[in-house]
């Protein structure tokens, strides 16, 4: 069975490490970074299926990071995860191309369900491009 590659981006180190372990225990290959700049660098070097991105971080925030990731033109779906959410931010994130938006704390099963949905969309988009080019 193929394992989804997840890029987890959150400045809360303990939270990020705990979620990384929980996702790894569910069979995901997880890379954790702690700021938006590191996320963009990681995506420039390596392919990920899904990005789980915190909204509020030092340096560039989640919305700015989301926009920068989308400009890279990757087939990577992005879930925004934040403890500081508002409906306006959720709408803005969706307009910028986020797959979905979850508030912290969130249930691990809910997060996994969203990751699975995003991963399915990533695979469908990649397959569509491959079919189109053949």
For the segment 36-58, what is each residue's pLDDT rounded down to a tens digit? 999 999 999 999 999 999 988 88
Q: Give the C-alpha separation, 30 to 50, whole Å.
A: 10
What is the CATH topology of the domain spanning 5-133?
Answer: Rossmann fold (3.40.50)
Mean pLDDT of 86-115: 88
- Give the predicted TM-score (pTM) of the model: 0.89
Q: Give the C-alpha separation, 11 to 105, whole Å.
A: 15
Q: What angle do CA 27, 73, 118 make, to 5 degrees?
A: 30
């Amino acid at each position: 069975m193929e394992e989804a590659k997840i890029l987890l981006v959150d400045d809360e180190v303990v939270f990020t490490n705990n979620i990384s372990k929980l996702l790894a225990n569910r069979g995901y290959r997880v890379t954790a970074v702690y700021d938006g700049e590191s996320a963009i660098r990681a995506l420039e070097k390596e392919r990920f299926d899904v990005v789980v991105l915190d909204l509020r971080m030092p340096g560039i925030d989640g919305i700015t990071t989301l926009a920068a990731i989308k400009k890279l033109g990757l087939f990577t779906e992005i879930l925004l995860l934040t403890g500081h959410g508002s409906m306006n931010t959720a709408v803005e994130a969706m307009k910028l191309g986020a797959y979905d938006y979850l508030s912290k704390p969130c249930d691990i099963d809910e997060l996994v369900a969203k990751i699975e949905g995003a991963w399915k969309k990533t695979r469908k988009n990649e397959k569509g491009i491959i079919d189109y080019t053949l």
